[in-house]
């Protein structure tokens, strides 16, 4: 069984296309363009990514790209894809934690995409924000996984976007996540200094793992509360590798509750691809989404100085913990 799906896109007129832009993360510098594109736009296979590059439907905004081009951190990629139309009304705009002339910070709920992804239309945070603020040129500064809740920053002009993305790229942003994990750690504080790379022999293409030849990765964890069968842990990532917190918690023996990839056999993720997150998947994962929440973010403000924002713990995670007291 294939771990991911890649549907052929129909032939459409150029006017029916829309663009999606992405920036190469520091941890992905040195990868081939076709490999990175297939990993970043997960509905594409590597061969489909190479074909779109050859057809000019994936282009580099900083230089011409070929499938074998070795990418550099920070360079920008634009993907042209068939325009998708909404099939349902937009959901409410998520709560705003802070807004000023240069940026707006949302408390993204679990289940909402930060940016459109996949071959079907889905409302995403950036699209909802642009509908609500049509007079600004909004940019998504960073992104959270669909199932991760919490702080998401959107820039309101091009210069603010440049400043904020440079801060993330240059590790000038302090992040704190709260995670509900399986089990009760014997430690109160733990530094995991373990390199991360692609998981070998996994049928799940997006799965990462601790491996000696991976990219350096460091996360400090602190136990906030212990319960009979789970714990609340604060995670302070010092690097920005893909799925870093989830991988390091699995490595520490306390995977995130509800995670369908880490701390689980591959067949659970493949089951979700085929059947959705049904009752069986929820029972095996222990919760209906990965119990990870972006709690605190401290970063340079485009107008100078540092700015800190906090998101209250998501209500579903509060309920999960309350049920253990």
pLDDT tens track for 145-176: 999 999 999 999 999 999 999 999 899 999 99
Give the 3-state secondary structure of residue 231: strand
Cα–Cα–Cα angle for 206, 78, 124, rounded to 5 degrees: 65
Q: Decide if pLDDT at 12 tops 60.
A: no
Give the pair of three-digit tokens for residue 278: 């049904």
Q: Which residue has the tokens 């998501």?
A: 314
pLDDT of residue 300: 97
Helix (H) or strand (E) holding 128: helix 125-132
Eight-class DSSP state of 28: G
Distance CA 293, CA 234 (A): 10
What is the rounded average pLDDT for all residues in the chain?
A: 88
pLDDT of residue 33: 93
Distance CA 232, CA 227 (A): 8
Q: Are 290 and 258 in contact (CB under 8 A)?
A: yes
Residues 107, 145, 147, 267: which is the catalytic one? 145
pLDDT digits (tens, 9 = 90+) for 266-293: 999 888 877 888 888 888 999 999 999 9
7: which residues sit within 8 A by CB, 6+ positions away? 43, 119
Give the pair of three-digit tokens for residue 269: 């993720």
Is residue 145 annotated as a catalytic residue, yes or no?
yes
The domains found in the chain, sorted by start residue, are 14-82 (3.10.290.10), 96-170+293-322 (3.30.2350.10), 176-290 (3.30.2350.10)
DSSP 253-279: T-PBTT-SSTTS-HHHHHHHHHH-S-H
Q: What's the distance, Cα to Cα, between the start and end of the chain in Å?
A: 41
Give the pair of three-digit tokens for residue 279: 């009752």
Packed helices 46-55 and 33-40: angle between N→C axes, nearest 10 degrees: 110
Q: Are 78 and 54 in contact (CB under 8 A)?
A: no
Q: Decide if pLDDT at 305 tops 90.
A: yes
Query: Stretch 37-47: mean pLDDT, rounded?
Result: 82
Between 88 and 293, the higher pLDDT residue: 293
Binned at pLDDT 50, 70 and 90, residue 88 comes out as confident
Binned at pLDDT 50, 70 and 90, residue 323 comes out as very high
Give the pair of three-digit tokens for residue 255: 């995977």
pLDDT of residue 5: 31
Most confident region among 47-61, 117-131, 250-264 by mean pLDDT:
250-264
Binned at pLDDT 50, 70 and 90, residue 10 comes out as very low
Q: Which residues pair with 189 in a beta bridge?
A: 222
Residue-wise over 98-127: b if at least 16 C-beta within 10 A, else e?
eeeebbbbbbbbbebbbebbeeeeebbbbb
100: which residues sit within 8 A by CB, 6+ positions away? none
**β-bridge pairing 230-237 and 218-226:** antiparallel
Eight-class DSSP state of 324: T
């Amino acid at each position: 069984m294939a771990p991911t799906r890649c549907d052929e896109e129909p032939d459409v007129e150029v006017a029916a296309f829309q663009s999606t832009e992405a920036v190469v993360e520091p941890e992905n510098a040195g990868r081939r363009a076709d490999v990175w594109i297939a990993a970043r736009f997960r509905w594409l296979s590597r061969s489909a990514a190479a074909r779109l590059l050859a057809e000019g439907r994936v282009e580099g905004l900083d230089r011409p790209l070929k499938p074998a081009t070795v990418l550099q951190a920070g360079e920008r990629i634009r993907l042209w894809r068939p325009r998708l139309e909404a099939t349902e009304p937009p959901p409410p705009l998520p709560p705003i934690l802070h807004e000023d002339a240069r940026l707006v910070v949302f408390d993204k709920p679990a289940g909402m995409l930060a940016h459109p992804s996949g071959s079907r239309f889905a409302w995403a945070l950036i699209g909802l924000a642009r509908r609500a603020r049509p007079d600004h040129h909004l940019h998504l500064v960073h992104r959270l996984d669909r199932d991760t809740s919490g702080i998401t920053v959107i820039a309101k002009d091009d210069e603010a976007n440049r400043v904020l993305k440079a801060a993330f790229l240059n590790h000038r942003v302090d992040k704190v996540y709260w995670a509900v994990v399986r089990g009760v750690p014997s430690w109160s504080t733990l530094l995991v200094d373990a390199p991360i790379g692609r998981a070998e022999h996994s049928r799940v293409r997006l799965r990462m793992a601790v491996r000696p030849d991976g990219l350096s990765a460091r996360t400090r964890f602190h136990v906030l509360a212990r319960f009979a069968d789970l714990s609340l842990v604060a995670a302070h990532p010092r690097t920005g590798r893909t799925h870093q917190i989830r991988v390091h918690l699995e490595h520490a023996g306390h995977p995130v509750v509800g995670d369908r990839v880490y701390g689980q056999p591959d067949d659970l993720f493949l089951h979700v691809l085929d059947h959705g997150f049904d009752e069986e998947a929820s029972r095996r994962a222990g919760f209906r989404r990965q119990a990870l929440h972006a709690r605190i973010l401290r970063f340079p403000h485009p107008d100078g100085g540092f700015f800190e924002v906090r998101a209250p713990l998501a209500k579903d995670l509060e309920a999960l913990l309350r049920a253990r007291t």
